[in-house]
Structure 1
Amino acid sequence: MQISGKTIVITRPEPENQHSCAFFKTLGANPIPLPMMAICPISDTQKCASIQSQFFDIDLYDFVIFVSKNAVREAIKWLDRCWPMLPEGVVWVGIGKGTTQLLQEEGIPATTNSGQTTEDLLRWSALRQLENKKVLIIRGEGGRPTLGDSLEQRGAKVNYLNLYERTSLDYSKSQLSQADSANLILITSGEGLENLQASLAKNVKMWCDKTIIAPSQRVAEMAIRHGWQSVVQAPGADDNSILQAIDCLQDI
């Protein structure tokens, strides 16, 4: 399907939302920014003290895994304060190419495998044998336990470092109405989908006849369970993966 002339709702959080809108606009699309959550750095004094303590101990870990670009952005601030030079012996890992690339741009020699999701990362041979290995997962509060639970089953000792909170955004019926004529809905996470469902239900909106682009099989299956009639699974949540999925669609 040609994206030019199509209206696409972008639900990913800022600052990625504005980047995606700019990307699709250059292709001739009409993007509508409708973030389904806000990313807020942890500000509680006691929590920040604990975060700093964990960063000072980051050299004790064999693997440090960043779950998202937001995790990278917040972690860089702390690493700059606590580690003028990065500790040696740590394997830095990003989930997905976008997160890994951002780490590398920030001077962290991160690595990953092919794929964009937690499930893809868990298929990586480097994370199969983890007996007595120490793993730190850097993420937002309330993240999925899938990665940590799976690594613990492989023998790893897993700790979490939560650096930000995700809060759902509330939209009025008039704000949602601007997207009533949209051709495509871009969803980049399960939580974003749930927040969209809640917002639509609150405002008595029915968008299930629209085509929804999901970043993974898990989120695609969630959309189907919610009653979406046209669900397309992209190979990842980044803009190029989304575009690849759209290109495979028949015109709508």
Structure 2
Amino acid sequence: MQISGKKIVITRPEPENQHSCLFYESLGAFPIAIPMMDICPITDPQKKAAIQSKIFDIDLYDFVIFVSKNAVREAAKWLDRCWPMLPESIIWVGIGKGTTALLQQEGIPATTNSGQTTEDLLTWSALSELAHKKVLIIRGEGGRPTLAEILEQRGAKVEYLNLYQRAPINHPFDQLSSGDSANLILITSGEGLENLQASLAKHAKMWCDKTIITPSQRVAELALRHGWQSVAQAPGADDNSMLQAIDCLQDI
């Protein structure tokens, strides 16, 4: 499908939203920025003390897995303060190429497999046999339990390090209305989709006749349950994956 001239609602949290808008502008599209979630660093003093303690003990883990770019940004600040030189025994892992690339930019020698999702990562042979291995998952509060549950089934001892919170954004009517004329809606998480649905319902809006692009089968199924009529599944949440799904559309 020719994307040039199309109006596209971008719902990513910042700063990714701005980057995505520039990406689609470069292709001739007209992006409409309506981020669905705010990313907020942990500020509670007790939680921050617990984070620092776990960062100081990070060399006790065999694998450290980052679920998102936001996890990388927050972790990099803590690691810079607590570890002038990173421990060499850890296998640092990013979920998706974008997260892994950002880790490498931060000086963290991360690796990953092909694919962009948690489910893709779980097919990686390096994570198939984990008996007696310790795994730390760095993420935001309230993330999905799927990764930890499956790694534990494979024998790992898994712990979380929550470094940020996701807060739904309550958009006023006028801002949400800027998307009424959009051809496409890009959604990058289940939480983002739920907040979009709540925002539309609050202002008595119906966008279910628009085409929505989701980053996974799980979110695609959620969109269908919410009544979206035209749902396309991308192989991941990054811009290139979303564009790949858009290119496969016949028309909108």
> TM-score if structure 1 supplies the norm length?
0.99
Distance 2:241 2:152 in 1: 30
1:188 deviates by 0.4
Query: Which residue of the partner structure matches residue 146 of structure 1?
Result: 146
Query: Which residue of the partner structure matches residue 217 of structure 2?
Result: 217
Q: Letter of the aligned partner of 1:2 in structure 2?
A: Q
Distance 1:62 1:76 in 2: 18
Distance 1:176 1:34 in 2: 7
Distance 1:157 1:245 in 2: 36
Q: Name the stretch that deviates more: 56-65 or 237-246.
A: 237-246
Distance 2:128 2:243 in 1: 32
Secondary structure of the corresponding residue to residue 77 of structure 1: helix
Query: Which residue of the partner structure matches residue 16 of structure 2?
Result: 16
Query: Which residue of the partner structure matches residue 180 of structure 2?
Result: 180
Query: Which residue of the partner structure matches residue 68 of structure 2?
Result: 68
Distance 2:81 2:172 in 1: 41
Secondary structure of the corresponding residue to residue 27 of structure 1: coil
Distance 2:12 2:45 in 1: 28
Asked if residue 192 in structure 1 is aligned to residue 192 in structure 2, the reply is yes
Distance 2:26 2:251 in 1: 19
Query: Which residue of the partner structure matches residue 51 of structure 1?
Result: 51
1:143 deviates by 0.4
Secondary structure of the corresponding residue to residue 232 of structure 1: strand
Distance 2:203 2:72 in 1: 35
**Aligned pairs (5 A) from 1:1-252:** 1-252=1-252
Distance 2:244 2:155 in 1: 37
Distance 1:85 1:239 in 2: 33
Q: Letter of the aligned partner of 2:190 in structure 1?
A: G
1:174 deviates by 1.8
Distance 2:159 2:195 in 1: 28
Q: Name the stretch that deviates more: 167-176 or 29-38.
A: 167-176
Aligned length: 252
1:244 deviates by 1.1
CA RMSD in angstroms, aligned pairs only? 0.6
Secondary structure of the corresponding residue to residue 167 of structure 1: strand
1:251 deviates by 2.4
Distance 1:174 1:83 in 2: 46
Distance 2:191 2:119 in 1: 17
For residues 148-196 of structure 1, the C-alpha deviation after alignment (integer angstroms, 9 at most, x for no partner) is 1111111100110000000000012222111101000000011100110
Distance 1:41 1:5 in 2: 37
For residues 40-73 of structure 1, the C-alpha deviation after alignment (integer angstroms, 9 at most, x for no partner) is 0001111111100000000000000000000000
User: Is there any run of 5+ residues in structure 2 with no aligned partner, and where?
Assistant: none
Q: Letter of the aligned partner of 1:101 in structure 2?
A: A
Identity of aligned residues (%): 81
1:80 deviates by 0.2
User: Is there any run of 5+ residues in structure 1 with no aligned partner, and where?
Assistant: none
Distance 1:151 1:245 in 2: 30
